[in-house]
Amino acid sequence: QQQVKQSPQSLIVQKGGISIINCAYENTAFDYFPWYQQFPGKGPALLIAIRPDVSEKKEGRFTISFNKSAKQFSLHIMDSQPGDSATYFCAASSNTGNQFYFGTGTSLTVIP
Amino acid sequence: NAGVTQTPKFQVLKTGQSMTLQCAQDMNHEYMSWYRQDPGMGLRLIHYSVGAGITDQGEVPNGYNVSRSTTEDFPLRLLSAAPSQTSVYFCATFQRRNTEAFFGQGTRLTVV
């Protein structure tokens, strides 16, 4: 059973456009929601994370929107650049658990 | 400060062979995990450890063994390799619950 559901599986965006990736979860005990970025041949690296006490977190061109009542969170990449082309994973964890639950990943391609 | 180091980077095994994937960290993190990454499946947890001498199973533990004799090292053993274990394996560490996870560069394993 997938604890975190991620969509879309792949995404193609024009340079300068907005990329949006969505995730949903069921376990209300989750209280930490990170996004990881992975380039080919590399391990995932933390991009941005949010905790449920806020509805939005912004770091540069990257924004997480969080809807606690809907149990959904999303990553928005503004002014998408070819260098943003990568695989993005959402994840969730709880302060009482010992592991992260990852989404299935989104392959983003930004076309020049 | 190397972070998380995985060896080897690539490996080809014959069905039935055994091998050990190595993971070492120099960040003094208590939590260590092994994931496998398969297309369309995201990152799936194999085994994890919350400290030296303590390990537990994740989502897909069958065919794998782990041990944690020191804080720094968390090897993953394939007992009798099968083609279904062809995958990219990642080791990850984090200091406390609900904090950033740091990943190694991965081991690409092919079982023929």
B97, B99, B108: best mutation site toward chain A, by most A Cβ within 10 Å? B97
Task: Express each pLDDT in B89-112 by its tens digit.
Answer: 999 999 888 889 999 999 999 999
Average model confidence (pLDDT) across chain A:
95
How confident is the model at residue B1, as a pLDDT?
65
**pLDDT above 80 for A1:** no
User: If DSSP codes are grouped into helix, strand and coil, which group holds residue A32?
Assistant: strand
User: If DSSP codes are grouped into helix, strand and coil, which group holds residue A3?
Assistant: coil
How confident is the model at residue A2, as a pLDDT?
81
User: If DSSP codes are grouped into helix, strand and coil, which group holds residue A83?
Assistant: helix
Handedness of CA A38, B27, A96, B33 (dihedral sign): positive
How confident is the model at residue B98, as a pLDDT?
84
What is the distance between the alpha carbons of residues A31 and A106, in angstroms, rounded to a whole number? 22
Chain B neighbours among A 78-97 (CB < 8 Å)? 89, 93-97
Q: Which residues neighbour B78 within 8 Å (Cβ) at sequence distance 6 or greater?
A: B13, B18, B19, B20, B21, B63, B64, B85, B109
Residue type present at position A59: E
How confident is the model at residue B64, as a pLDDT?
97
A chain contacts of residue B68, beta-carbon cutoff 8 Å = none
pLDDT band with cut points at 50, 70 and 90 for residue B19: very high
C-alpha distance from A97 to closest chain B C-alpha (Å): 7
